[in-house]
Structure 1
Amino acid sequence: MSVSRRALLAAPGIVSLGLAALSSPFGSAARAQGATAPGAAGWPNRPVRLIVPFTPAGTTDVAARILAERLQAHLGQPFTVENRAGAGGNVGADAVAKAEPDGYTVLMQAISSGAINYTLYGGRMPYRPEDLAEVGLVVRVPNVIFVTNALPVRSLRELVAYAKANPGKLNIGSSGAGTSLHVTGELLKMEAGIEMTHVPFRGAGPMLAEVIAGRVQVAVDNLPSAIGHLREGRLRALAVTTAARTPALPDCPTTAEEGLPGVEATAWFGIQAPARTPRPIVERLGAVIDAIVKEPATRARMADLGGMMPDLTPEGGTTPAAFTAFVRAETAKWGEVVRKSGATVE
């Protein structure tokens, strides 16, 4: 992916990927825990497939499994996680877009396949935004920049100095071309004025394994999937990409603290369903997700992994309508990034 610094900086609000809260048009009754919309009374009466468009062990997968556990507790049926990776999330998302719209196949959507890829892949996209219906935003997460322990750098400033002294010798990994992790790496290279070779993987799991082994020296990942390796010393964290430090990794500075305030990025994950899924089912599932993301225990689990809850409504939750507005704004923003930068995927 080739991104010009001038092109990115020309788009207002593009370099900072922080997410703004949106107000909900729904009343409290629609958000009540377990609220059942007319016509959704018999749903679900069998297991529901929850498609994750990335490999196991990545943040999309981790967040989906936490959510699946709580959905089963609320709705009384298993939500079975099924990983379908490929094309920056497009393979799994396309499977859901073309699935039977009966409420028994839903998607754990990510920022890449849910916003970035619509413009990045252009005419090669296998589905359209209108092929999927928004149900609820589940979690937002910072990205983290880290290195293999064998690399002799202990801060982001030291990494920049090392890269400048060793041009073209470092690889930087991500979980896929077009992901927010890829773009964060591009922003890092542009802001710091350094060169590293991007190495995309089919998910966070294989990427993390290669960095731990030292075959890839630098990487960017969503904090939840990398945090265990960072806490246990298998990888060395250099900076998080949020404006403030995260309580989940309090000793890790921000990119701004390390002299690169333009490298700011926040990823997101939420539930979508096939577009023609009956609206009462979408509303019911959305109300249950809203109840789950407000649970103190769920918030604590996500926060321990570095996640931030959606907070699309004044009460700190989510609704289908609020998530729809959010996704439309993200798609427009990322479309502008891709067009102005000339970014492409091979």
Structure 2
Amino acid sequence: MNRRSLLALPALAALGSPATAQQRPTRLIVPFPAGGATDAVSRLFAPLLAQRLGTTVVVENRPGAGGVPAAEVVVRSPADGLVLLLATSSIHSTAPATGASLPYDVEKDFTPLALIGASPSLVLVSTTVPVNDLRGFIAWAKARRGQVNYGSSGVATTPHLNGALLDSLADLGMVHVPYRGTGAVYAELRRGDVHALLDVPATATTHIQAGTVKALAVTSASETPLAPGVPTGEAAGLPGLVSETWFGIFGPANMPAPVAQRITEASQAVMADPELRARLLGLGVDPRTGDGQALAEAARTERERWSELVRRLNIRTAE
């Protein structure tokens, strides 16, 4: 038996032995406060993961500072599989792409374990904008270059980057208007002071159903049950308008292969549960069943996309 296998034995025992598991629960670190969408995902996922691992999985919320404190907890933990991170694009894709100063290397200091979900954004416009499809909006905005704006939840946030991507692809010359959270943007959309917003279905659906905004396109690569009847960017006339916020499980760097494999396989089994998948869709998350490589690729693809956009448009974290 080689040294790596010997190192893996204690961690495997902790994950596989009910008696040991009761003493040493697995901590699932969530970089957002209780009550949010990511927290809701974690609380659906954790008990099913616990069943698969034969252990207790405790959700631990560590909000604030763009997810850095939560990620640091995992980076500094032993690589025994007992401390995991439920990460989203903000930590491994958006933050490094926008030049945030991070106390860790997102490529080297984590072990990607499982991709569990993704959420695209919807291109939303105010009901005061006299169009009903993306082609119409592009033509309308081009005819008013410099007079049309899009809102976001802040500089260098996902809504900002998505809006900048739309603006760049269609060459619209829109003005970015950052707010503190999307709630304020929706209020301005209702009044017609903001013309457009790109936001996830979890928060957009209520406003669409209320008739206060119109959904013109979805940024997924293909049609999604999260936005039935809403065309993709390509189908709506704008190829390249593809962006998803992903959800995935990471551990610390240098996890022994048997430990990582056990958590990956358990996560994949959890994601095959039909009831869980249905409940995730209700939260605005499209369930995915991907291994560590799929998660690493999703994170890298998004990071490279936003890095290129940030460099080209000179987007800075403080405007």
Same fold per superposition (TM over 0.5) = yes
**Structure 1 residues 233 and 80 mapped into 2: Cα distance closer, same or farther (>3 Å)?**
farther
Which string of whole-angstrom CA distances, capped at 9 and with x for unpartnered residues, describes residues 18-62 of structure 1?
Answer: xxxxxxxxxxxxxxxxxx945633346455443333466665444
1:343 positional shift: 4.6
Q: Which amino acid aligns with 1:65?
A: R
Q: Which residue of 1 aligns with 2:187?
A: 213
Q: Is the 8 A contact 2:159 2:199 kept in 1?
A: yes
Q: Is the 8 A contact 1:64 1:81 kept in 2?
A: no
1:303 positional shift: 4.0
Q: Which residue of 2 aligns with 1:320?
A: 292
Q: Which amino acid aligns with 1:345?
A: T
Q: Which residue of 2 aligns with 1:141?
A: 119
Q: Does 1:40 align with 2:15?
A: yes
Q: Is the 8 A contact 1:249 1:306 kept in 2?
A: no
Q: Is the 8 A contact 1:48 1:103 kept in 2?
A: yes
| Structure with the larger helix share | 2
1:271 positional shift: 0.9
1:336 positional shift: 5.3
Which string of whole-angstrom CA distances, capped at 9 and with x for unpartnered residues, describes residues 260-307 of structure 1?
Answer: 122122332101123266655433322211111122222333345554
Structure 1 unaligned segments of length 5 or more: list them.
Answer: 1-35, 311-316
Q: Is the 8 A contact 2:155 2:316 kept in 1?
A: no
Which string of whole-angstrom CA distances, capped at 9 and with x for unpartnered residues, describes residues 232-251 of structure 1?
Answer: 54543221113433233222
**Counterpart-to-counterpart distance in 1, 2:270 and 2:74:** 23
Scaled by the length of structure 1, the TM-score of the pair is 0.70
**Counterpart-to-counterpart distance in 2, 1:163 and 1:97:** 45
Q: Which amino acid aligns with 2:185?
A: V
Scaled by the length of structure 2, the TM-score of the pair is 0.74
1:63 positional shift: 3.1
Alignment of 1:221-260 (within 5 A): 221-260=199-238
Q: Is the 8 A contact 1:47 1:80 kept in 2?
A: no
Q: Is the 8 A contact 2:26 2:55 kept in 1?
A: no
**Counterpart-to-counterpart distance in 1, 2:34 and 2:174:** 27
Q: Does 1:195 align with 2:173?
A: yes
Q: Does 1:114 align with 2:59?
A: no
Of the three residues 275, 282, 306, the one matched with 2:253 is: 275
**Counterpart-to-counterpart distance in 1, 2:65 and 2:74:** 14
SS at match of 1:137: strand
SS at match of 2:261: helix
The structure number with the bigger radius of gyration is 2
Q: Does 1:86 align with 2:65?
A: yes
Which string of whole-angstrom CA distances, capped at 9 and with x for unpartnered residues, describes residues 187-230 of structure 1?
Answer: 2111222233334567xxx31x2233226542212334433443
1:185 positional shift: 1.3
**Structure 1 residues 270 and 342 mapped into 2: Cα distance closer, same or farther (>3 Å)?**
same
1:186 positional shift: 1.3
Q: Which amino acid aligns with 2:56?
A: Q
Q: Is the 8 A contact 2:132 2:216 kept in 1?
A: yes
Q: Is the 8 A contact 1:111 1:179 kept in 2?
A: no
1:318 positional shift: 3.0
Size of the aligned set, in residue pairs, is 299
SS at match of 1:214: helix
**Counterpart-to-counterpart distance in 2, 1:127 and 1:58:** 25
**Counterpart-to-counterpart distance in 2, 1:235 and 1:70:** 37
**Structure 1 residues 147 and 133 mapped into 2: Cα distance closer, same or farther (>3 Å)?**
same
Structure 2 unaligned segments of length 5 or more: list them.
Answer: 1-10
Q: Which residue of 2 aligns with 1:125?
A: 102
Q: Which amino acid aligns with 1:127?
A: Y
Q: Is the 8 A contact 1:51 1:84 kept in 2?
A: no
Q: Is the 8 A contact 1:58 1:225 kept in 2?
A: no
Alignment of 1:147-166 (within 5 A): 147-149=125-127, 151-166=129-144
Q: Which residue of 2 aligns with 1:299?
A: 277
Q: Which residue of 2 aligns with 1:65?
A: 43
Q: Which residue of 2 aligns with 1:26?
A: none
Higher RCO structure, 1 or 2 (CA under 8 Å, sep 6+): 1
Q: Which residue of 1 aligns with 2:5?
A: none
**Structure 1 residues 163 and 83 mapped into 2: Cα distance closer, same or farther (>3 Å)?**
farther
Deviation beyond 6 Å, 4+ runs, structure 1: none
